[in-house]
């Protein structure tokens, strides 16, 4: 029996996954969590084999939660489950220890296959993501360079996307549960690393490289 925890702040998404998992005799839903605090509580109290983890959540985002899980519970397998396309977060997720990256338009059959693969210690990677990974490694080997946004930390990347989406620093701070001063520091780092002058430059770059929804 594969014990599954769902971590997503959207009740409707959790409900759909609960129904999907409940139909399978070899899978057992052991809990639901809407964020980092509830997820860590479940990990302390319950035996878990696979976590389906959303990328975009208030406070700690999914990549940050993934890193914590792999440090504290290295035997737990984590599948990222996100509304964002693979090119935005998948490489970051796999580098951080994820067993796979699923978008929310993934078919139910593929979701179940990914869960079973993860429980066996295998990676679930779509052909498109495999190509992206191959190109990523090839580019690094060839010239040692990457696109500017690939040098950003996970939190800086999140800040870039939110700025490019037109959100004010106060809105970003509220959503990330950070102080406006901290968000301002992240913005400064992003501008420096991206060699950008202002938010308009960041927005143009994000649109050019398809970093927005």
Q: How far apart are CA 34 and CA 8, in angstroms?
A: 5
Instruction: Identify the CA nearest to 99 among candidates 64, 116, 109.
Output: 116
Q: How far apart are CA 52 and CA 78, in angstroms?
A: 6
Mean pLDDT to the nearest integer, 73-100 = 86
Q: How far apart are CA 118 and CA 139, in angstroms?
A: 28
Checking if the pLDDT of 144 tops 70, the result is no
Kindly list the structural domains of the chain, giving each domain's residue range(s) and its CATH number in brackets, ordered by start. 2-133 (3.40.50.2300), 148-208 (1.10.10.10)
Checking if the pLDDT of 88 tops 80, the result is no
Output the CA–CA distances (angstroms, integers) from residue 145 to 22, 95, 96, 136, in the order listed.
Answer: 46, 17, 20, 10
Highest mean pLDDT among 85-94, 133-142, 190-199 belongs to 190-199
Return the pLDDT at 75.
94
Return the pLDDT at 146.
72
Q: How far apart are CA 66 and CA 87, in angstroms?
A: 18
Checking if the pLDDT of 112 tops 90, the result is yes
Checking if the pLDDT of 140 tops 70, the result is no
* End-to-end CA, the chain: 36
Output the CA–CA distances (angstroms, integers) from residue 60 to 36, 39, 127, 157, 180, in the order listed.
Answer: 6, 11, 29, 13, 16
Return the pLDDT at 138.
53
Task: For the chain, give the mean pLDDT.
Answer: 88
Could you give the dihedral angle defined by the CA atoms of residues 109, 99, 194 and 203, in that order, rounded to the nearest 10 degrees? 20
Output the CA–CA distances (angstroms, integers) from residue 20 to 23, 109, 201, in the order listed.
Answer: 6, 9, 43
Return the pLDDT at 139.
54
Residue 78 DSSP class: E
């Amino acid at each position: 029996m594969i014990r599954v925890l769902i971590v997503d702040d959207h009740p409707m998404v959790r409900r759909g996954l609960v129904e999907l998992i409940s139909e399978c005799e070899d899978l057992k839903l052991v809990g639901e969590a809407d964020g980092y605090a509830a997820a860590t509580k479940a990990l302390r109290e319950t035996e878990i084999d696979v976590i389906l983890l959303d990328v975009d959540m208030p406070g700690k985002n999914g990549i940050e939660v993934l890193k914590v899980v792999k440090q504290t519970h290295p035997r737990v397998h984590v599948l990222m489950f996100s509304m964002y396309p693979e090119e935005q977060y998948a490489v970051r997720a796999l580098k951080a220890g994820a067993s796979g990256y699923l978008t929310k338009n993934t078919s139910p059959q593929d979701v179940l296959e990914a869960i079973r693969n993860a429980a066996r210690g295998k990676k679930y990677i779509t052909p498109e993501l495999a190509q992206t990974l191959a190109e990523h490694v090839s580019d690094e080997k060839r010239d040692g360079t990457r696109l500017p946004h690939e040098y950003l930390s996970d939190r800086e990347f999140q800040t870039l996307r939110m700025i490019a989406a037109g959100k004010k620093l106060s809105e970003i701070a509220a959503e990330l549960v950070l102080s406006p001063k901290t968000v301002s520091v992240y913005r400064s780092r992003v501008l420096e690393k991206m060699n950008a002058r202002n938010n308009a430059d960041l927005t143009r770059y994000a649109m050019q490289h398809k970093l927005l929804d």
